[in-house]
Structure 1
Amino acid sequence: MRIFADENMPLVQQFFSDLGLVTLFDGRNVTAEQLSEAEVLLVRSVTQVDQVLLQTNSDLTFVGTATIGLEHIDQSYLAKRQIPFTNAPGCNAQSVVEYVLSSLWFLAERYQWQLQQKTIGVVGVGNIGSRLAKSLKLLGAKVLVCDPLRQQQEPSFPGPDFEAVDFNSLCQQVDIISFHTPLQRDGDFATEHLLNAKTLAMLKPDCAIINAARGGIIDNKALLAEAEALAEQGKKRPLVLDVWEDEPDILMALVPYADIASAHIAGHSIEGKARGTEMLYLALCQQLGLQPKHSLADFLASPAIEKVQITPSFGVPDVQNLAKLLYDVSRDDATFRHSLTDKGFDWIRKNYPARREFSSLQLSGTAVPNWLLQLGFSQEQ
């Protein structure tokens, strides 16, 4: 079986080499000619899979993207050709949540906030947004959620623990807004430029914006215009941008106005990326009627920091220090600002350093609180 995979997909050789010959390609620049003989195609979000890319291929029997998002996949074209397709929903949800939490702790320190006194709006309550909302509540913040599609489809949404509001109402009420919705360009639930000049004006002047979803959800030019206008008044809106419009050719003038700027790496933990590869492997095995031989645990290296003992005095204010043992978002911001001009957006993504999720850290002691386990940490067995 001829398997073609994005060169930045972790552990792809380890998972798939038993199933066929694995050929790696540059996902951003791959051509139709390079994929003409592929029977299995494994991509990430940088590859547009459509008729143009597959025009010379007549052998394809499986397409998988190791991502949550689907906007880079022409599903109707694949369906027309009867090519089975799968994605990896939730593969990097915990990784993105940890990015957002690290960003919130960074902003809280910079602006001297108490997060427990803030109202945080989560826009898009799928795998990532729902997990983030629960984590924020565990940390004592008030959370509002907005997901009109789920609200229409699920009578019980959002459940007793959260209050759901429409987007305009959320904008007017929150102190922090975090986006976790897919990019939908049209229709009743369109999200492209959901945050634009009009809706930006609805936010409190000091409301923080976090976007770790898709760049096009925010009108970057409108955001820049507002940032420049605020700067003339000696003011600044707290801003965290992991995703940008027109990646990798982003609006460079916007970067200086961000407190945290990074190269679409919120989901790039070792577990988050490799979990996507594993999900595609399991899907292909199922299609082929084969029993899977491998699991993610077979390939993960031991973490640099494996165990920490918790004492009875551990409380919510201590979580930030515990999380920093594994990840500090300011590292990614520093790399982004230092390397973007000379080395480029994609170089930063490709050379992203190892980062482990909370689950890699085992907590020991007689008083490990359950809420820490709910945040994603593990307990020593």
Structure 2
Amino acid sequence: MGSQRLSVVVTRRLPEVVETRMKELFDVELRDDDTPMTRDELASAMQRADVLVPTLTDQIDQGMLAKAGDKLKLIANYGAGVDHIDVATARQRGILVANTPGVSADDTADMTLAMILAVTRRIPEGLALMHAGGWQGWSPTAMLGGRIAGRRLGILGMGRIGQAVAKRARCFGMQVHYHNRRRLHAAIEAEHEATYWESLDQMVSRMDIISINCPHTPSTFHLMNARRLKLMKPDAVIVNTSRGEVIDENALTRMLRAGEIAGAGLDVFERGPDINPRLRDLDNVVLLPHMGSATREGRIEMGEKVIINIKTFADGHRPPDQVVPGVL
């Protein structure tokens, strides 16, 4: 398959250097404005493209895949998470799915630590006080937060991002604990001085800070449900830079309002931008607009991975980042 004849449809605006490179390599159709495609636009794109380059804002479910044309042979996702794509159905229809893993691990881990510090040291409250002109000068008892050194950090999901969080947490003097589908190799545990918990319930009940770093899959939906959130210590903090669906957002909001959990840092939300308005009113919550992987360097690297996946496929080979159903 000659790459010049490969028709590629991109569903969102990408960094300019990535779009320019795509124009050089493929017969590419780029998005003019930075809004998500409607379902109809997406269905139309899937009928006329050899390759679709979607993002997490595009729901490519069974019904959408049923509308795909015979041309579509590759979905080269821009992003590591593929919970918005029905990978198994795509495979049945002879459509390969690729993603961009590993690129955003350091960026997301940096943001995780930033949020842990923001919540425990009350940074947004301090900012708000300054911007409102309410600061009256230093006081020995004003704006007291907590020290993170010595605190127990429980990482839920010890993949690339979880391990990058662990590495940073050790530098801050935190004790690293983790729960994962599979226990890590002893050498990796030793490298991070990490303690494995087979029981998520037991880990949650003993941690000072919980960091959500697992992907959203059917088995992780509401993994932190109301029952499990109630196991957390009242002075504990939860941070999520993964996917909003992993936490029951309404249950979390109720518990934060009731003072049953000390604080939360959320970069992702269960219903995207439709955030529980009660969350916005709380002083002990840091909310960010899904910025975890938002660095110029990271977004360009993601684009480069997409291009390599398409180019490799065009040359008749298996994309290096092909997603295999059942391995998720």
User: Which TM-score band applies after superposition, normalised by the shorter structure?
Assistant: 0.7 to 0.9
Determine which of 196, 199, 204 is the counterpart of 1:171.
Answer: 204
The root-mean-square deviation of aligned C-alpha atoms, in Å, is: 2.2
Which segment drifts farther, 221-230 or 129-138?
221-230
1:73 partner amino acid: I
Within 5 A, what are the aligned runs for 1:1-381? 1-10=6-15, 11-25=17-31, 26-29=35-38, 30-54=41-65, 55-110=67-122, 111-147=144-180, 149-151=181-183, 156=186, 159-160=189-190, 161-165=193-197, 166-185=199-218, 190-230=219-259, 237-257=262-282, 259-289=285-315
1:91 partner amino acid: V
Alignment check: 8 A CA contact 1:150 1:157 kept: no
Identity of aligned residues (%): 25
DSSP-derived class of the 1:249 partner: coil
Describe the shift of the 1:289–1:21 C-alpha distance in structure 2 as closer, same or farther (beyond 3 A): closer
DSSP-derived class of the 2:178 partner: strand
1:48 partner amino acid: Q
- What residue is the counterpart of 2:139 in the other structure? none
Alignment check: 8 A CA contact 2:152 2:208 kept: yes
TM-score (normalised: structure 1): 0.69
2:50 partner amino acid: E
Structure 1 residue 114: Cα displacement:
1.9
Unmatched 5+ residue regions in structure 1? 292-381
DSSP-derived class of the 2:182 partner: helix
Structure 1 residue 108: Cα displacement:
3.7
Unmatched 5+ residue regions in structure 2? 1-5, 123-143, 318-328
CA distance in 1, matches of 2:37, 2:206: 40
CA distance in 1, matches of 2:185, 2:166: 19
Describe the shift of the 1:139–1:236 C-alpha distance in structure 2 as closer, same or farther (beyond 3 A): closer
Alignment check: 8 A CA contact 2:152 2:174 kept: yes
Describe the shift of the 1:62–1:49 C-alpha distance in structure 2 as closer, same or farther (beyond 3 A): same
TM-score (normalised: structure 2): 0.79
Structure 1 residue 155: Cα displacement:
5.6
CA distance in 1, matches of 2:226, 2:182: 26
Alignment check: 8 A CA contact 2:46 2:72 kept: no
